[in-house]
């Protein structure tokens, strides 16, 4: 069975500073990878996804992520954060040949300070 | 386009009462998922349906939980009897078939408090 580990439960960061959120997964088969964002009192929204091709994936709101197959990682980055990026971020994995079931990591809370 | 619609948004009930949460997926989507979110356990998949048929209910905690999808535009998650440990935010999500790589569209959630 696949699993997803988000190494940081909370990440405080100052406005306009860069941020990196770490995600590692374990799976013996090919996967699709996703990052979702959850703003306070809302559902999850897709930030970006890796399906195939270029390992650097660009998403909404200036976020990007890099797929590293050898390290089984899919870290999320943003070069300059805004106050509005304060949210919880979830990494998720789906096995390519196994339906639409997503397995989520535990989430990383990002708090952007002025 | 309307997104995934969940009701109620908030529910406060007493232990032992029946709770029914409702979900209307995005029109045309053929997968529907129920997730539960708590501080302790994060996001847990409870059950999902494909074309109204339950595919995997291994995440349903126990027999007190049941889910139905009588048609393509409606699903319910029922807890009977409810217990304080069921307090959580319950999310419904829908998606198209895997050819779209499984992007899930989430509702805003139903926050359940069992006293």
- Half-sphere exposure of residue B55, counting CA atoms within 13 Å on the CB side? 15
Cα B39 from chain centre: 17
CA angle A93, A95, A97 (to 5 degrees): 155
Contact B81, B63 (CB under 8 A): no
Residues 6+ apart with CB under 8 A from B100: none
pLDDT in tens, A58-77: 999 999 999 998 999 999 99
Residues 6+ apart with CB under 8 A from A98: none
Residue A24 to residue B41: CA distance in whole angstroms: 18
Cα B82 from chain centre: 15
Inform me whether the C-beta atom of residue A35 falls under 8 Å from chain B C-beta atoms: no
CB neighbour class for B104 (10 Å; exposed up to 12, middle 13-18, buried from 19):
buried
Q: Which of A50-54, A89-93, B43-47 has the lowest mean pLDDT?
A: A50-54
pLDDT band at A51 (very low <50, low <70, confident <90, very high): confident
Query: Looking at chain B from residue 73 to 102, which residues have their Cβ under 8 Å from any Cβ of chain A?
Result: 91, 93, 95, 97-98, 101-102
Residue count (chain B): 115
Contact across the interface for A107 and B42, Cβ inside 8 Å: yes
Q: Which of A94-98, B7-11, B36-40 has the lowest mean pLDDT?
A: A94-98
Instruction: Give chain B positions within 8 Å (CB) of A89.
Output: none
Contact across the interface for A100 and B109, Cβ inside 8 Å: no
pLDDT in tens, B16-34: 999 999 999 999 999 999 9
- Substitution target from A1, A51, A67, A100 for chain B, most B beta carbons within 10 A: A100
Contact A93, A29 (CB under 8 A): no
Nearest to B50 by CA among B104, B4, B91, B97: B97
The three-state secondary structure class of A85 is: helix
Inform me whether the C-beta atom of residue B42 falls under 8 Å from chain A C-beta atoms: yes
Nearest to A94 among B42, B102, B106 (CB): B102
């Amino acid at each position: 069975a696949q699993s997803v580990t988000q190494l940081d439960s909370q990440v405080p960061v100052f406005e306009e500073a860069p941020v990196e959120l770490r995600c590692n997964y374990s799976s013996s088969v090919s996967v699709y990878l996703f990052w979702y964002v959850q703003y306070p009192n809302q559902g999850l929204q897709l930030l970006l996804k890796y399906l195939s091709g270029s390992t650097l994936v660009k998403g909404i709101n200036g976020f990007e992520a890099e797929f590293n197959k050898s390290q089984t990682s899919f870290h999320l980055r943003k070069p300059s954060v805004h106050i509005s990026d304060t949210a919880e971020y979830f990494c998720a994995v789906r096995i390519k040949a196994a339906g639409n079931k997503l397995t989520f990591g535990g989430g990383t809370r990002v708090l952007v300070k002025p | 386009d309307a997104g995934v619609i969940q009701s109620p948004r908030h529910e406060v009930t007493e232990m032992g009462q029946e709770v029914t949460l409702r979900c209307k997926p995005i029109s045309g989507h053929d997968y529907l998922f129920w997730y539960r979110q708590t501080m302790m356990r994060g996001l847990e998949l409870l059950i999902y349906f494909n074309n109204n048929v339950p595919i995997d209910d291994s995440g349903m905690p126990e027999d007190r939980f049941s889910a139905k999808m009588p048609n393509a535009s409606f699903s319910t998650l029922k807890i009977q009897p409810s217990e304080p440990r069921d307090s959580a935010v319950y999310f419904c999500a829908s998606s198209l078939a895997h050819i779209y790589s499984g992007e899930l569209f989430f509702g805003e959630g139903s926050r359940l408090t069992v006293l």
